[in-house]
Each structure stands twice: as structure tokens, then as C-alpha cells.
Amino acid sequence: METRIQKIDPENFNDEELKTACEILKSNGLVAFPTETVYGLGGDALHPEASSKIYAAKGRPSDNPLIVHIADKESIYEIADEVSEKAEKLADAFWPGPMTMIFKKKEIVPYSTTGGLDTVAVRMPSHPIAMELIRQSGVYIAAPSANTSGRPSPTKAEHVIEDLNGKIDMIIDGGAVGIGLESTIVDVSGDIPVILRPGYITAAMLEEVVGEVKIDPAIVGKVMQKNIIAKAPGMKYRHYAPKGNMAIVEGDTDNVIRKINELVCAHKEKGQRVAVIATEETKDRYECDIVRSIGSRKCEGSIAAGLYDILREMDHLEAEYIYAESFENDKLGSAIMNRMIKAAAYNFIQA
Ligand code: AMP
Ligand code: MG
């Protein structure tokens, strides 16, 4: 299949530019498009033909449900059952934006979209292209991240092209995304909201709006929780992972740098290709041929935005061993560490 690639300026575009993409969506084709979190691979959420194409293009296990994207709040009542007062409050506070809510599903949502579950994940994105695409096509768009299953999520059109060129109808290139990590997922189908995946919207931000919020035990901690099954099916799969063997090194900054330099030296002696994921503050202190700065510790947002690009670059550089610094496990840091821990397959080294 030939994939059409269309550049659109998110700050300045018109209906005409989205026409082809809308036609594709209306006829059960697939369009990758930018959102404020990561690029999504979109298809009609209410048509099993479109969702089965999404699973096939990504190589995604069919029990891993898709998020349904809407462009106005009223749409929730068409696809979700029992929208609680807390859910309403969260929608008012954080939509459009990087928060997904899980509701009991209505019958019109096919099981192929929800991975066989009786619940449905819904989000209203704030990215102008995503918004307009949903509005203009009139389609509720099922859109998981537009990457090959298991690889880091795409934060630029180039990443989507790398994974999906030739497998989908169209890729809209709207430049680099703003946030760079997937949405926060909150299950609002019970009395107390439960975070199933950490993201840009933190537990504290949610609590300010609805009071107590729980966190799914499967996503807490640095050790793989063997006996707890993650409530968001996607969280149980190996994810975001570069091809090389990645480890996160923890401790005081000076100790971390010393430890990583020792490890690098040992790999070099064996002729192995090794890379370091550092920060603006530390990047000049490593004695390694490949050092990449993920962003500045003074700005967690820059680290979130840079993470997946760096993980993909590690593959391009053919790094066999990758050592990364660790980050604070609060606020946005908990979302960053959640992704890094999975990328490193729970591999920690204490410095
Ligand atoms: P992605 O869009 O690639 O970020 O993947 C969507 C994420 O949402 C995956 O981790 C899914 O497991 C999760 N998800 C989607 N629908 C549901 C649902 N009904 N219940 C729990 N998690 C869900
Ligand atoms: Mg994904």
C-alpha cells in the first residue's frame, strides 16, 4: 500500500487540507495524526473493519483496547454508560487535554475496539489537527499510539514513517508533539477514580478536582509485580523498549556518573557498543563515545518530550548497552519513570 504523507501546519490550516484524511476515515481507512501527547493511528471507532486494520498495522495484541477520541463533551453520552459526577468534573477540568477516562461502554462501541472489555476508554485531545479531524470527519476516532507495538511511541512524523510507512493510508505530518508521553488513564467506572497509567495530568491534579484518587498497584514501584494484573491491558506488555540492553542507574549524581563511567569502560574493553542517556546538567561528565542529553532537570517537560526520540535514536546508533540516569518519582517524573522502567525491563543498578 502506498502511504500518502501530508504536511499540515497545526497553527494555520483549513478544512480543505483535511479533506482527504476525512474521506479515508469515513471509508474505514487509517490515518496517523498528531495529538498533544504522541502521534495516534486513527480509524473509525465504531467499525470493526477499521479497528482490525489498526491492530494489524501495529502488530498489536487484539486484547489491548483502543482509546476513542471525541471532539465535544456531549459525545461521551453516546458511547459511555453511567457517566458519574466525578467523571463530569474531570472532563470539565481536563478536556480537551491529555487525560483518558474509562467508562462502561454503550452497545454501539464494538468489542473489537475495546479488546473484548465491557468498558471503553475516551479522550478529547486538544491538538488542533486532532480536534478538527474528529469534527470534520464526524467520526469517533479510535487511535492508539502510531508505532509498531512494543516500540517507543512516536513524537514526530518521522517516527510514524519509520514504523508504518506502506501499512496505512495516510500520515499527517504536523511536526513534533508538545507533551511526548501518552495520556493519563483514569478509570471512572467505580466510586473512586483509579489511575491506570500515569501521564502529564498527575494524581495531585486529579485530586484537586475530585478528592481521593487511587493508583493501580500494578503500575507502582520499581519491581515487576508478578501477581498483580494491570487494569490497563496495555501496561502488561513490554513497551517503549530500545533493542539494546538498557539499565537505569540510581544514586547521588556523582556516584551515578562514576558508576556509569566504570560500566562504559568495561564494555569498551570488550569491544561492545555502549551509550549513555544523560541530562543537560551532566552530559559533559561522561567518558563515552555516545552520550545523549534527554533534556534539563530544571524542566521535567523537556525530559518527557525528549524521551521517546532518544530511545529510538539508541536503535539507530545500534547501542548494545544503554545506561540512563534516573528521575524523581513524583509529578511528571512518575510518568517519565513509568516509561523508562518499562523500556529498561525493570533493570536497575544502584550506584
Ligand atoms: P495507546 O493508545 O497506545 O496509548 O494505548 C491505549 C492504552 O489504553 C492501553 O494501555 C490500553 O490498555 C488502555 N485502555 C484502553 N481501553 C481500556 C479499557 N477499557 N480499560 C482499561 N484500559 C484501557
Ligand atoms: Mg501505545
d(CA 226, CA 202): 25
pLDDT of 237 reads 64
- 182 Cα distance to chain centroid: 3
pLDDT number for residue 15: 93
Ligand nearest to the backbone CA of 41: 1
Q: Which of 192, 183, 203 is nearest to 85 (CA)?
A: 192
Distances (CA, A) of 93 to 44, 111, 197: 27, 29, 18
Distance 249 CA to ligand 1 centre (A): 29
Find the Cα–Cα–Cα–Cα dihedral 256, 262, 266, 269, rounded to 10°.
Answer: 130
Ligand 1 binding pocket includes 122 (Cβ within 6 Å): no
* Ligand 1 atom closest to 100 (CA): 8
pTM exceeds 0.75: yes
Amino acid residing at 288: C
How close is the Cα of 279 to the center of ligand 1, in Å?
Answer: 30
Specify the pLDDT at position 29.
Answer: 98
pLDDT of residue 238: 67
67 lines ligand 1 (CB under 6 A): yes
- Report which of 117, 124, 134 is spatially closest to residue 66, judged by C-alpha positions: 117
DSSP H or E segment with residue 207: helix 203-210
Residues at Cβ < 5 Å from ligand 2 ion: 145
Strand order in the sheet with 290-293: 290-293, 274-278, 321-325, 245-250, 348-350
Q: Are 98 and 185 in contact (CB under 8 A)?
A: no
Contacts of 152 (CB under 8 A, 6+ apart): 159, 240, 241, 242, 307, 308, 311, 312, 343
Q: What is the pLDDT of residue 58?
A: 96
pLDDT at 12: 96
Of 35, 38, 66, best ligand 1 pocket probe by most atoms within 8 Å of the beta carbon:
66
Q: For the chain, what is the radius of gyration of the CA atoms?
A: 20
Residues of the chain where predicted confidence (pLDDT) is lower than 70: 225-226, 236-238
Hey, which residues does 105 pair with through a beta bridge?
A: 80
What separation in angstroms does the CA of 216 have from each of 97, 123, 192, 253?
A: 21, 19, 12, 30
| pLDDT attached to residue 348 | 94
Ligand 1 atom closest to the CA of 143, numbered from 1 = 2
- The SS3 call for residue 187 is strand
Dihedral sign for Cα 108, 114, 116, 119, please: negative
> What is the sign, positive or negative, of the torsion defined by CA atoms of 166, 238, 344, 66?
positive
pLDDT at 5: 98
Residue 220 Cα to ligand 1 middle (Å): 17
